[in-house]
Amino acid sequence: MTQLDATLALLRQLTPFESVAGNLPQQQTLAEWLEEWLVHEVDARVIYPVQLQLGEDAPPLVHVRIDIGAPETVVLYNMYDVMPATSEGWDADPFVGDIAHWPDKGDVFIARGAENNKGPLAGMLMVVRDLYHSGHLHTNIEILLEGEEETGSGHLRRYLARTPCPVDPAAAVLFPSLCEYGGGAPRLYLGFTGMSAGRLSVKGGSWGGPTAAIHASNAAWIANPVWRLVQALGTIAPAQANGVLQTQSLDEEAGQLLDELAQTFNLQDELRFRRSEKLVVAGDTYSSLAWLLGSAVLNISDISSSPQGGRGVIPWQASAEFALRTPPGIDAGALLNRIRHQLQNPALEGVELLLDDSYPGHRFSLHDAGVLELMTSYHQQQARPQIWPWAPGCAPAYAFAPVAPAFLIGGLGEGGNAHGINEFVTLRGLARYQQSIRDWLLAF
């Protein structure tokens, strides 16, 4: 059996676990399965037993160490949680998976998590197993797998904040992923955006608005919580700004990296990849990228009211789910305080900001350990990486600061439709991905 065949077999074993947010039993079972696999397949020593975490109201962490007595250690981080999915519109059952041939992609494996991130997880585990048993492993490896990456990594962040940190100091941390997005050049990010997640909530009460749903015939003289919510959103983030609350200028180092990136970055390819037709900002490639990376943006993912679907009622409650994305250098706390101050306006009485979680953006240097090794792993397969000052996407990179200077996300290979219908990884891409992770580990 080839390494690719073995990886697909492992991925087929991981796929049926419906490890989505809110399905704690499935997440716990998968965490136990992964821990057992690591102990059995690579003689890993368990640092934080899953069994000790089963009484907690959070998906367990899998934390093991492969100690070969080497002077250097690297950390491999990954995730086992995935987004929900139904079979509607899929070419394969999302929690069974299947191989198909697409004219533009070749052979692909279709399943929920194929790209994000059970496919990369399976590939990573098989690379570690092969290196361990072949005797080619040169470093100790700590492996951390979490089940809350899609919902803010709260358990992981609290775990890493313990004193002393339960993860030994390491040369670098890598989050192995498929980074040839849309089949384009692989990306290398020197940092990550932070996130603050929560909701704006309005309930009927002394300000006006009913405390229970009432007939809509009263709409002319009884306040509607939905209108109050719309008013609050317009005050905090005017619609014409598309949620951008603040934009910072890039420093010299970030500007130089962005200048090089802009020379090869294709905005039209990015729009096709993002299934969009135009940007909300007008300008050249450099200014568009600078706006993307330098902006703190309030994204609204859902607006709802209670009761739902009641066209003939005035609802008693309305809420808007938000995620405030803040790049390194912008203080999320200050922005949230500004929003709270705006909500103190008597005209917005009844609107509350409820914060679920928050973590800051974080960046590191092009010269930190692990970065050159990742670039080299790309070059060995004739791939030239695009180097970003930091990612517009969010990750709790700051939490790994006590462990290593750099928290990298990397790996060759193409997948697609993450969080959507027919999520996939190309089989060619999976093989490229595994070779790049192997080369990164061997570089230490």
* CA distance linking residue 378 with residue 383, whole number of Å: 5
On the question of pLDDT at 102 being above 90, the answer is: yes
Please name which of 130, 107, 113 lies closest in space to residue 2, comparing C-alpha atoms: 130
Element (H, E) at 416: strand 415-416
Under 8 Å CB-to-CB from 220, ≥6 apart: which residues? Answer: none
CB 381 within 8 A of CB 414: no
pLDDT confidence of residue 183: 81
pLDDT in tens, 133-189: 999 999 999 999 999 998 889 999 999 999 999 999 999 999 999 999 888 889 999
pLDDT in tens, 257-301: 999 999 989 888 888 878 888 888 888 999 999 999 999 999 999
Q: Which residue has the tokens 């339960």?
A: 166
Residue 272 to residues 182, 267, 268, 279: CA-CA distances in angstroms? 9, 9, 6, 11
- Residue 135 is classified by DSSP as T
Please name which of 111, 115, 88 lies closest in space to residue 100, comparing C-alpha atoms: 111
Pairing of strands 106-110, 45-48: unpaired
pLDDT confidence of residue 184: 84
Single-letter residue type at 12: R
Backbone φ, ψ for residue 352 (5° rounding): -120, 145
In DSSP terms, 73 is beta-bridged to 140
pLDDT confidence of residue 125: 98
* CA distance linking residue 96 with residue 126, whole number of Å: 20
On the question of pLDDT at 111 being above 80, the answer is: yes
Please name which of 444, 440, 438, 415 lies closest in space to residue 3, comparing C-alpha atoms: 438
pLDDT in tens, 300-326: 999 999 998 778 999 999 999 999 999
- Mean pLDDT, rounded, for 57-69: 97
Please name which of 40, 112, 42, 54 lies closest in space to residue 80, comparing C-alpha atoms: 112
Q: Is the pTM of this model over 0.85?
A: yes
Please name which of 419, 239, 248, 223 lies closest in space to residue 320, comparing C-alpha atoms: 239
Instruction: State CA 9 to chain mean position distance.
Output: 25
Q: Which two tokens stand for residue 113?
A: 């998590």
pLDDT in tens, 203-245: 999 999 999 999 999 999 999 999 999 999 999 998 889 999 9
On the question of pLDDT at 341 being above 90, the answer is: yes
- Mean pLDDT, rounded, for 424-429: 97
Domains contained in the chain, CATH given: 3-190+364-442 (3.40.630.10), 194-359 (3.30.70.360)
Q: What sign does the CA torsion over 276, 280, 284, 290 have?
A: negative
On the question of pLDDT at 132 being above 90, the answer is: yes
Query: At 417, is the secondary structure helix, strand, or coil?
Result: coil
On the question of pLDDT at 40 being above 90, the answer is: yes
pLDDT confidence of residue 272: 84
Element (H, E) at 199: strand 191-203
Secondary structure (DSSP) of 349-400:
TTEEEEEEEEE--EE--TTSTTHHHHHHHHHTTT-PPEEESSEEEE--GGGG
Residue with the bigger pLDDT between 184 and 341: it is 341
Q: Edge to edge, what strands does the sheet with 62-66 contain?
A: 45-48, 62-66, 140-146, 73-79, 173-176, 407-410
pLDDT confidence of residue 269: 80
User: How many residues are there in the chain?
Assistant: 444
* CA distance linking residue 160 with residue 144, whole number of Å: 11
Residue 415 to residues 93, 108, 175, 422: CA-CA distances in angstroms? 17, 9, 16, 10
pLDDT in tens, 368-425: 999 999 999 999 999 999 999 999 999 889 999 999 999 999 999 999 999 999 999 9
- Mean pLDDT of the residues in the chain: 95
Which percentage of the chain shows pLDDT scores above 70?
100
Backbone φ, ψ for residue 382 (5° rounding): 55, 35
Under 8 Å CB-to-CB from 256, ≥6 apart: which residues? Answer: none
CB 407 within 8 A of CB 400: yes
Single-letter residue type at 365: S
